[in-house]
Amino acid sequence: MKLFSNLISTFFFLGRLPIAPGTWGSLGAITVWALIPETMWFRIILLTFTLVVGFISCEITLKQSNDPDPSYIVIDEVVGVWIALLFAPKTIFFFTLGFLLFRLFDITKPSFIYSIQFLKGSLGVMLDDIFAGLLSLLILWGVMA
């Protein structure tokens, strides 16, 4: 169970890369998103499944660490960037813009997103990226309109 949760929370060990694991996790997520069908139902099911499994695996992985938000846990970046791209068409422009917006908000944590990261356990790890993804989604939605 620990190996499986580590596999998921590090998004197939991308989070174990020594430099910029969150960026690598986000890029891995975009690669997977580019390969899946563009149907909304498939996107929503994959995102929901990953969200639930991400919370569980993140919690299990956190119990093995003394760090409240270890950088090698990148499933939160995966979920966040998938939220950002939920309605985006499969184009280099929207994928690049979604990636850049998400990473900007994930790194800078504007407004209330900053305080969310201090929640205990997987809530703190996952929710700040979920909100960064939602903020990115709103901006992408405006660009698409």
Tens of pLDDT, residues 89-122: 999 999 999 999 999 999 999 988 888 888 899 9
Model confidence at 29, pLDDT cuts 50, 70, 90, reads very high
Angle at which helices 21-35 and 92-108 pack, to 10 degrees? 150
Q: What is the pLDDT of residues 47-80, one digit of tens each?
A: 999 999 999 999 999 999 889 889 999 999 999 9
Tell me what pLDDT residue 44 has: 97
Task: Read off the pLDDT of each residue in 32-47 and give the average, rounded to a whole number.
Answer: 96
Task: Tell me the pTM.
Answer: 0.95
Residue 64 or 1, more confident: 64
Q: What is the pLDDT of residues 123-141, one digit of tens each?
A: 999 999 999 999 999 999 9
Contact 11, 28 (CB under 8 A): yes
Tell me what pLDDT residue 99 has: 97
- Three-class SS string for the chain? CHHHHHHHHCCCCHHHCCCCHHHHHHHHHHHHHHHCCCCHHHHHHHHHHHHHHHHHHHHHHHCCCCCCCCCCCCHHHHHHHHHHCCCCCCCHHHHHHHHHHHHHHHHHCCCCHHHHCCCCHHHHHHHHHHHHHHHHHHHHHHHHC
Contact 5, 57 (CB under 8 A): yes
Model confidence at 81, pLDDT cuts 50, 70, 90, reads very high
